[in-house]
Structure formats: structure tokens, C-alpha cells
Amino acid sequence: MIELQHVSKGFNGVKAIEDLSLNIARGEFTVILGSSGSGKSTLIKMINRLLEHDSGRITFAGDEIRSFRPEDLRRRMGYAIQSVGLFPHWSVEKNIATVPTLLKWPPSRIHDRVTELMTLLQLDATLYRKRYPHQLSGGQQQRVGVARALAGNPEVLLMDEPFGALDPVTRAALQLEIARIHKAFDKTIVLVTHDIDEALSLATRIVLLDQGRIVQSGTPLQMLSSPANDFVSDFFGRSDVGIKLLGLQSVATRLRAGEHAAGAPVLASSSLREALSMFLSRRVDRLPVVDGDGQALGVIDFSDLLDLRP
């Protein structure tokens, strides 16, 4: 859906992105990960032409992005950023409706869309739609920013550190929301972060950048279990890579069907990391496993956690 071929971009003669090639497929949740200054924001901003690439080719749905008018491109690609960038003198409703208004949707359709998005992002529409950005908390403002990015039903959602500067609880809630939106609406999402855990929990594919180049790209499991070099191992942290791997796999993958154990059960959909925590806190080596309806499925044994398969 979005393809970069040998793309470079420099500022005052210094390369921020160097000969980078990347293919982002429709429906994928791509997380661009890297330390500060590695080129993440430059990369995402070139995709919607907030920055122009110096050389190489970037295509969207098969066409070079320079063949689109920038405003058309941006209507098809929602964009949410850490600093939110809401218009301060516009109500929440008007901010969310920016793109639908540009697209000249009828007022009743815009009204319904705003209500729908506010509900989706757990903002009480009756309470907040007429408020101004300064009357909202930081987390609520970020929700409005995400709602605005989604409003015109764009094919692609570009997000640059959208959950930065949030407390861990609000951050986790918004991450869950985005993961749900990705699954429910089959959106193509490109998200920039330097937060390793955020990348591991959200991405279908991680692209790790260093000094404007891709060091490795792959699924979270591939990045942890088959790092391409020492840089990748160090980046993800050698010491707790096992714990991170447990976070990526579910109890269902280690289920001993039909066996029985006593005590409070663990959900089959829980991660092995959550199961580890339960084993340790309850000081047991077997846990009963149930599905979402509470039906008994079998057992997980502590020793099953040692079987770390990619």
C-alpha cells in the first residue's frame, strides 16, 4: 500500500534518512522504532508529504506521492501527533470534524460521525463535544487528536508518538483502543515510538531504525528471537528478552487440554507473562485454564513456560 524505494532525506547536508526501502502492506500495523534522532519522524512525515524526500521513490496505492495534491494525500492518511495540535479556538466537535467538513459532508452525517468517534474513544459526547481543548485533560486531548485523525475514515493512519506524555494507565488504555480499532476496521497503521514495550504489544511488524537506516524489520517475535546483530539484541535488552517473549505468547499456546488443577483459573487469552506472575504470586506450579466464558479448557504447567518457541 505504501512503498519506499531507496529513499534519502537530508537537512543541511546531513542525512536523516539514507537509502531506505520499505514496503507497508494494507492492513498491517507497522511500528517504526528507534532511539532519538534515528529518523523516525522524518520517515513518517515523508509519507504524507509534510516533508519532501530528496531522492528515491515513495508510492501510495501504486502512485508516486508527488502525483497527489498534498491535501488529497492527507485526507486519505489520518495523522496524529504527540503534541496533538488541536485548534485551540475550536470546540472538540469542530476539531474532530475538520476533514469531514473539508469533504463537505452534510451536517447530520458530521454530527453522527463525531458522536460515533467520541464513543469509540470513550469520550462522553454529550459532556465534551462543545468543550474547548484547554478544558480537557492531556489524555482527553490526545483522544480527540486520534478521533480527528480517524474522522474522514482514512485508508491509512499515521501516528507519531501519539501516546507520549501520558500517564501509564491512560497510555495503556489508548494503546488498547488503537489495537482494537486496527482489528475492527482493518486499518493500515504506521506508528512511531521509542517505547519498546509499546512496539512489541502493538506491531504486526516492527521496523528498527538507526541513523536513518533500517537495521532489522520483522514481527515482534522475530525481532526478539532472531535479532540480526548485536545492535538489535542490545536495543531490545538482552537481560529481559525472555520476559518480553513471554509477553508475546498466550496461555493457549501451552494448553494441556483435558487435564485438571485446583484454584483460581487463568484465561487462555492471557499472556504467558501474566501466567508467570500468577504462578509466582500463588506459589503454585499448575493453573487451570478457562476460556472467556469461564469454560474449563485444561491446565498450564510452570515447566511449559521454559519452552520458548519463536
Ligand X SMILES: Nc1ncnc2c1ncn2[C@@H]1O[C@H](COP(=O)(O)OP(=O)(O)OP(=O)(O)O)[C@@H](O)[C@H]1O
Footprint of ligand X (CB under 6 A): 11, 16, 34, 36-42, 194
Please give, one letter per residue, the 3-state secondary structure of 56-110. EEEEECCEEHHHCCHHHHHHHEEEEECCCCCCCCCCHHHHHCHHHHHCCCCHHHH
- Sorted by sequence, the CB contacts under 8 Å of residue 274 that are 6+ apart come out as 251, 266
Residue 150 burial by Cβ neighbours in a 10 Å radius (0-12, 13-18, 19+): buried
User: What gap in Å lies between CA 195 and CA 304, rounded to an integer?
Assistant: 29
Residues in the chain: 310
165 versus 308: smaller Cβ distance to ligand X:
165
Minimum gap (Å) between residue 136 Cβ and ligand X: 24
Contact between residue 3 and residue 47 where contact means Cβ atoms under 8 Å apart: no
Radius of gyration of the chain (CA): 22
Strand ranges of the sheet holding 286-290, from the earlier edge strand across to the other edge:
256-257, 296-301, 286-290, 266-267
User: What gap in Å lies between CA 146 and CA 121, rounded to an integer?
Assistant: 8
17 versus 272: smaller Cβ distance to ligand X:
17
39 versus 133: smaller Cβ distance to ligand X:
39
223 versus 299: smaller Cβ distance to ligand X:
223
> Position of cell 462543545?
130
Minimum gap (Å) between residue 67 Cβ and ligand X: 24
Residue 155 burial by Cβ neighbours in a 10 Å radius (0-12, 13-18, 19+): middle
Minimum gap (Å) between residue 192 Cβ and ligand X: 6
- Closest by CA position to 23, among listed 70, 49, 59: 59
- Closest by CA position to 127, among listed 143, 115, 145: 115
